[in-house]
């Protein structure tokens, strides 16, 4: 029993520290606001929040973490990836080029009890865009370090999914067809852990190093 309590205390500490640091990053009310902003670097990791979801310390709950161009050298940019998530100017979009939009679309189909073969693409894409473009976000920008972005994305999802708090039953992701999304409270699948990962000494060192580096970056 003491081991379980100690483990829960460690996970809670990780989660609280992570939220504290992420909320020091520059925030934007929407993807549109970020796209219009001028940024020193074009690469980064993004964090979407749900303003309707709160965690115990009062912060908006983080519901998705993502990056871009993590395999080899890539010319992709953070703004380019977020444009894919945002969709088109007319309110439509293409869920086939954005895994985030695809996850949201599948959840909408299930929640609304749509017939996937009959629902019109433009109707569904508009509903996806309406949802995604209401979400505020924070960004962590990098000069151009794919390996570091990969580590930051992985460990962020790792902490959030392994330390997830209760979320509202009517949260859209609860209707996801993927158990990793519906149970973790995140619109992520890769790196998501819903099986209570064991935090051995090596894992603790890795997570602590990640949080220490994140703290340094939030002070820059």
Contacts of residue 48, Cβ cutoff 8 Å, sequence gap at least 6: 62, 63, 64, 65, 66, 135, 136, 137, 187
Percent of the chain with pLDDT over 70: 90
Q: How confident is the model at residue 9 (pLDDT cuts 50, 70, 90)?
A: low
pLDDT at 5: 40
Q: For a pLDDT cut of 90, what percent of the chain falls above it?
A: 60
Rounded CA-CA distance 147/156 in Å is 14
Our measurement of the distance from residue 65's CA atom to the centroid of its chain's CA atoms, rounded to an integer in Å, reads: 2
| Angstrom distance (rounded) from CA 64 to CA 75 | 23
Give 182-219 pLDDT, tens digit per residue.
999 999 999 998 766 666 677 778 888 999 999 998 88
pTM equals 0.91
Q: What is the pLDDT of residues 44-81, one digit of tens each?
A: 999 999 999 988 778 999 999 999 877 766 778 999 99
């Amino acid at each position: 029993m003491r081991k379980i309590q100690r483990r829960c205390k460690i996970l809670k500490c990780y989660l609280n520290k992570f939220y504290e640091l992420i909320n020091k990053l520059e925030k934007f009310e929407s993807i549109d606001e970020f796209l219009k902003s001028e940024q020193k670097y074009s690469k980064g990791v993004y964090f979407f929040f749900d303003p309707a979801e709160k965690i115990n310390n009062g912060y908006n709950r983080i519901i998705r973490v993502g990056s871009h161009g993590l395999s080899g050298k890539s010319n992709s940019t953070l703004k380019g990836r977020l444009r894919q998530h945002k969709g088109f100017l007319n309110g439509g979009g293409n869920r086939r080029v954005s895994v985030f939009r695809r996850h949201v679309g599948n959840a909408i189909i299930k929640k609304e009890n749509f017939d996937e073969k009959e629902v019109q693409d433009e109707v569904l894409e508009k509903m996806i865009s309406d949802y995604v473009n209401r979400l505020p976000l924070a960004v962590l920008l990098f000069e151009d370090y794919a390996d570091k972005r990969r580590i930051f994305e992985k460990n962020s999802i790792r902490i959030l999914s392994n330390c997830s708090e209760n979320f509202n039953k009517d949260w859209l992701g609860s209707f996801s067809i993927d158990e990793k999304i519906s149970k973790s409270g995140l619109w992520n699948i890769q790196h998501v852990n819903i099986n209570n990962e064991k935090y051995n000494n090596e894992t603790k060192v890795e997570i602590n190093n990640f949080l220490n580096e994140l703290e340094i970056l939030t002070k820059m």
